Amino acid sequence: MQRRVDTKSLALGMWVVELDRPWLGTPFLFQGFEIQTQEELDELRKHCAYVYVLTNPPEGRAKPAKRAPVGIGRATEPATVTAQAQAGTAKLDLSQLVKVKPIERHRYRREISLEEELPRAAKIEREAKAHLQTILEDVRLGHSVDASGARQIVSQMVESVISNPDALTVLSQLKNAHEYTAEHGLRVCTLAIAFGRHLEMSPEALNLLGVGALLHDVGKMKVPLEILNKPGKLTDEEFAIMRTHVPEGVKILNSAHGIAPESLEVVERHHERYGGGGYARGISGEEIRPFGMIASIVDCYDAISSDRVYHKGMSTHDALSKMYEWRGKDFHPGLVEQFIQCMGIYPIGSVVELTDGAVGVVISINRERRLLPKVAIAASSEQRLLSRGRVVDLMSGVPEGARAPIEIRRVLPPELHNVNPADYFPIPRLAAG
């Protein structure tokens, strides 16, 4: 049950489920949270006169890790200096994490539109996938890794992401559970480069990060297929074998020529966790170093949002919510908040229900107001599927004939309305060319 509480009477540990105003105008990322810090109390009192709290929070409910207040970030703010939201205070300075040359600020501008970049991105994506599949098969057969080819592919991906960070991300939404290892490597590479761009890393750093991300799971080629593709939970013995893919990957890439130590850092540490609960070394905090921290975030995000032979992936929005819950325990808190800002509260390709009842696909993120993206309407408010839906910019205010602005009500599973997000981008035509 819920009860109304004056914000002056709020206390730590209370679960806030509703505000006295729309969440959109506040600095809180997700709707509903436990008050864990004095800063959160101050933010609630600053923005609200009263709120609604749960009188009996469910027992056993997973509690988020401690956090600093954060909201919807501004893309114009330097990410290496601050993870500030519209009224938030969470800060992230990569230079304070570790003194390393590749972590240097490099401000990027979006050079071309998504539509203009998609043809080049589609070609790069096809070539990268084919090359990665060849690399993985060579490793399975005992051959060495083509490091030069990997660097060349990543260089092209970096150029595309610098020009427009969304094009390769859109293509990465096309997932095949039966080609998970290769496609996962490619998606993790894309996400890592896009995230690094958001963090204003130099092109040199993006290339080093990208090579490591592309090859981060190369050691899995030494894991027996019956374990790698098992459609059920692994036994303790099988999981111990699965964990060997990390040292095996480091060993494989150490024997190759041309893999930089920074790239090896990604392979070695992508399963480490901020609180020390990961593997293979069980290190924690700043010992993981920035490349390892970034790799752990993007690897986990793609894993939990992808269909596997043994489980159905969650929506990208739900995956981001989970990552937010796990910050501080599993991931660097500031980096998780930056990753959410990078991806958008509703990532490109999300299927959403609007407040007017229509169903749409997020086709463009608003970097200034991440709750207000552009949405291509896939089904009318009467739930009638539309072959070519109109595009609604949720930032445009009250539509003609409407009484209030249209907003996103909730995220939907694509299969609920038989909506394929890829249909709302010129991907099939490009992929065939």
Least confident of 194-198, 265-269, 387-391: 387-391
Instruction: Give the single-character DSSP code of 85.
Output: B
Q: Is the CB of residue 270 less than 8 Å from the CB of residue 292?
A: yes
pLDDT at 366: 79
User: Across residues 117-121, what is the average pLDDT?
Assistant: 92
pLDDT at 82: 27
Quick one: what percent of the chain has pLDDT higher than 70?
A: 81
User: Across residues 59-85, what is the average pLDDT?
Assistant: 32
More confident residue, 22 or 216: 216
Is residue 81's pLDDT more than 50?
Answer: no
225 burial (CB, 10 Å; 0-12 / 13-18 / 19+) is exposed
Highest mean pLDDT among 11-15, 184-188, 315-319, 410-414: 184-188
Q: What is the pLDDT of residues 252-307, one digit of tens each?
A: 999 998 999 999 999 999 999 999 999 999 999 999 999 999 999 999 999 999 88
pLDDT at 329: 94
Is residue 155's pLDDT more than 70?
Answer: yes
Task: Report the predicted TM-score, pTM, of the whole model to 2 decimal places.
Answer: 0.77
Is residue 74's pLDDT more than 60?
Answer: no
User: Across residues 39-62, what is the average pLDDT?
Assistant: 77
C-alpha angle 302-308-309 in degrees, rounded to nearest 5? 165
Going by C-alpha positions, the residue among 362, 344, 372 that lies closest to residue 421 is 362
User: Across residues 375-399, what is the average pLDDT?
Assistant: 80
Is residue 61's pLDDT more than 50?
Answer: no
CATH code of the region 114-343: 1.10.3210.10
Cα 311 from chain centroid? 19
Helix (H, G, I), strand (E, B) or coil at 352: strand
Least confident of 49-53, 98-102, 217-221, 293-297: 98-102
Q: Is the CB of residue 385 less than 8 Å from the CB of residue 417?
A: yes
Q: Is the CB of residue 214 less than 8 Å from the CB of residue 153?
A: yes
374 phi/psi in degrees, rounded to 5: -90, 140
Is residue 383's pLDDT more than 90?
Answer: no
Report residue 394 as tokens. Answer: 């949720």
CA dist 322 and 30 (Å) reads 11
* Peptide linkage before 378 cis (omega within 30 of 0): no
Banded model confidence at residue 31, pLDDT cuts 50, 70, 90: low
Give the CA count within 13 Å in the CB-facing half-sphere of 188: 33
Is residue 153's pLDDT more than 60?
Answer: yes
pLDDT at 369: 76
Least confident of 61-70, 101-110, 119-128, 333-342: 61-70
pLDDT at 64: 36
Give the CA count within 13 Å in the CB-facing half-sphere of 326: 22
CA dist 1 and 427 (Å) reads 46
Domain ranges, ordered by start, for the chain: 2-63, 114-343, 351-428
Is residue 108's pLDDT more than 80?
Answer: yes
Quick one: what percent of the chain has pLDDT higher than 90?
A: 48
Banded model confidence at residue 25, pLDDT cuts 50, 70, 90: low
416 burial (CB, 10 Å; 0-12 / 13-18 / 19+) is exposed
User: Across residues 377-396, what is the average pLDDT?
Assistant: 79
pLDDT at 179: 63
Alpha helices in 201-332 (DSSP H): 203-214, 225-228, 236-243, 245-254, 261-269, 289-304, 316-326
Banded model confidence at residue 77, pLDDT cuts 50, 70, 90: very low
Report residue 212 as tokens. Answer: 């490591």
Going by C-alpha positions, the residue among 231, 332, 330, 232 that lies closest to residue 278 is 330
Banded model confidence at residue 156, pLDDT cuts 50, 70, 90: very high
Q: Is the CB of residue 230 less than 8 Å from the CB of residue 310?
A: yes
> Residue 148 contacts by C-beta under 8 Å, 6 or more apart in sequence?
258
